[in-house]
């Protein structure tokens, strides 16, 4: 475990692998933490990569530097946190790999600062930048049912429920989102401790309210949010990993899944896997990272 001041955070992160290896930043989602990448990181280190696995804002030992900072969970904040971490660690370029919230942070940086990104691995929905202006358009009843947890967190009852029953709430989401994954109590407990972060409830509820336009964002990220409203394309080499049994992400065809990408992109549907792809299928996830790394090297050599 290491810690470093980066932007508005003191970021706790795991680091492994050779200092001179190609850098891979592995980014967890909600409600998960760095444990999702234990096996992925081991495989990548064996392949010569330097792996950085941070706890996102509101998770584990990561802390805000100032009490006055808005505990925002908006997409621009997640992207800014990742960009600040790259700067703090003096990482010029890295493969960014993530899913859920972590995939969103990776997509934001890949879209707005592609010069810092070797390649991208993103879980569903692939182009994971929110279209907040369209967020209140109703979807099919089936889709609305999958998003029950977001609507629950919009109100004060949901805030109080997450504060009182956070670990049980998140355990239920693990079960619903990865119905074919038989995880143990010990596996869940190893991650659930991260939900005891004092900012977890505020950051999570702000995230699910902001994405529907129900609360204001942090003014410090207003320019980034404005850029994201333009739906900037992602041009870096990308692999999208979709769990075939994912209980929360929308089921889409390949054509819809690769929208938003202007560069080389490939989508892979992983059978028998739910939402937490790196922990459920670490070999597939690690191979995807090595694929985009190889693609980038090939492009550089042919240039």
Mean pLDDT within 192-210? 98
* Residue 302 pLDDT exceeds 70: no
In total, the chain counts a number of residues equal to 303
pLDDT at 301 over 70: no
pTM, whole model, 2 decimals? 0.97
Copy the structure tokens of residue 58: 């509101």
Return the DSSP state at 271.
Answer: T
| pLDDT band with cut points at 50, 70 and 90 for residue 24 | very high
User: CB neighbours (10 Å) of residue 133?
Assistant: 10
pLDDT in tens, 210-232: 999 999 999 999 999 999 999 99
Determine the structural domain holding residue 81 and report its residue range. Answer: 2-302
User: Distance between CA 173 and CA 234 in Å, rounded?
Assistant: 29
What's the pLDDT at 224?
Answer: 98
Q: Report the distance separating Cα 81 and Cα 85, nearest Å.
A: 6
For residue 186, the Cα-to-chain-centroid distance in whole angstroms is 23
Copy the structure tokens of residue 72: 């925002």
Number of domains in the chain: 1
Tens-place pLDDT, residues 82-135: 999 999 999 999 999 999 999 999 999 999 999 999 999 999 999 999 999 999
Distance, CA of 38 to CA of 40 (rounded, Å): 6
287: domain CATH number is 3.40.50.1820
Torsion, Cα 115 117 118 122, to 10 degrees, reads -140
Distance (Å, whole) CA 268 – CA 151? 30
Q: Which tokens hold the place of 38?
A: 């234990």
Percent of the chain whose predicted confidence (pLDDT) is above 90: 94
| 299 pLDDT above the threshold of 80 | no
């Amino acid at each position: 475990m290491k810690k470093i001041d980066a932007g508005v955070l003191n970021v706790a992160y795991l680091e492994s692998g050779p200092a001179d290896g190609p850098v891979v930043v592995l980014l967890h989602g909600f409600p998960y933490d760095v444990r999702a990448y234990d096996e992925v990181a081991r495989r990548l280190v064996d392949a010569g990569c330097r792996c950085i696995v941070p706890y996102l804002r509101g998770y584990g030992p990561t802390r805000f530097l100032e009490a006055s900072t808005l505990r925002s969970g908006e997409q621009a904040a997640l992207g800014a946190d990742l960009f600040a971490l790259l700067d703090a660690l003096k990482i010029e370029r890295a493969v960014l790999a993530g899913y859920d919230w972590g995939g969103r942070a990776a997509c934001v940086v890949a879209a707005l600062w592609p010069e810092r990104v070797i390649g991208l691995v993103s879980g569903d929905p692939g182009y994971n930048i929110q279209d907040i202006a369209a967020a209140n358009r109703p979807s099919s009843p089936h889709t609305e049912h999958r998003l029950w947890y977001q609507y629950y967190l919009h109100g004060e009852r949901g805030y109080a429920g997450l504060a009182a029953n956070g670990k049980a709430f998140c355990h239920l989401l693990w079960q619903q989102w990865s119905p074919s994954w038989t995880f143990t109590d010990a596996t869940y407990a190893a991650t659930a401790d991260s939900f005891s972060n004092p900012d977890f409830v505020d950051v999570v509820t702000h995230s699910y309210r902001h994405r529907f336009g129900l609360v204001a964002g942090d003014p410090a990220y207003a320019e980034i949010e404005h850029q994201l409203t333009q739906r900037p394309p992602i041009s870096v080499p990308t692999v999208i990993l979709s769990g075939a049994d994912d209980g929360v992400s929308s089921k889409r065809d390949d054509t819809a899944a690769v929208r938003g990408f202007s560069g080389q992109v490939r989508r892979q549907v992983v059978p028998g896997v739910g939402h937490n792809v790196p922990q459920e299928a670490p070999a597939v996830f690690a191979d995807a990272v090595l694929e985009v790394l190889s693609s980038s090297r090939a492009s550089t050599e042919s240039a």
